[in-house]
Amino acid sequence: KGGALWNSGTYGDRTDTSVRAWFSDSGELWVTGRGTGNNRISWDSGTKKRHAKLCANPPSGQQPHWDQGGWAESASVWLVLQNDNNLVMYRKR
């Protein structure tokens, strides 16, 4: 069936920090938790926009994010933050 089309390369079993996928106010998608420095960003989409709109309802006071196991789908693909800390896009068919 569907195979992986893309991945963030953030896989691994490091357990010192929680890996999450975040949607920033600027419209970027970040994977955090395995990077270096204060922000611990290990991957970002590079899609920063001036007037971004996010389609999500996070809990009050929080940025929209996924923990391990979080996912989204379109008509043709799945985007999954896997338990191995890798953000992967899979083809549905």
Alpha-carbon span 13 to 88, nearest angstrom? 16
User: Pairing state of beta strands 77-81 and 71-73?
Assistant: antiparallel
Query: So where are the chain's domains?
Result: 4-91
In terms of average pLDDT, the best of 5-19, 33-47, 68-82 is 68-82
Q: What is the mean pLDDT of residues 25-35?
A: 72
Which region, left, alpha or beta, applies to residue 63 given φ > 0 means left and ψ of -120 to 50 means alpha? beta
Q: What is the mean pLDDT of residues 30-46?
A: 70
Q: What is the mean pLDDT of residues 48-58?
A: 56
Element (H, E) at 6: strand 4-7
Contact 21, 70 (CB under 8 A): yes
The more confidently predicted of residues 33 and 82 is: 82
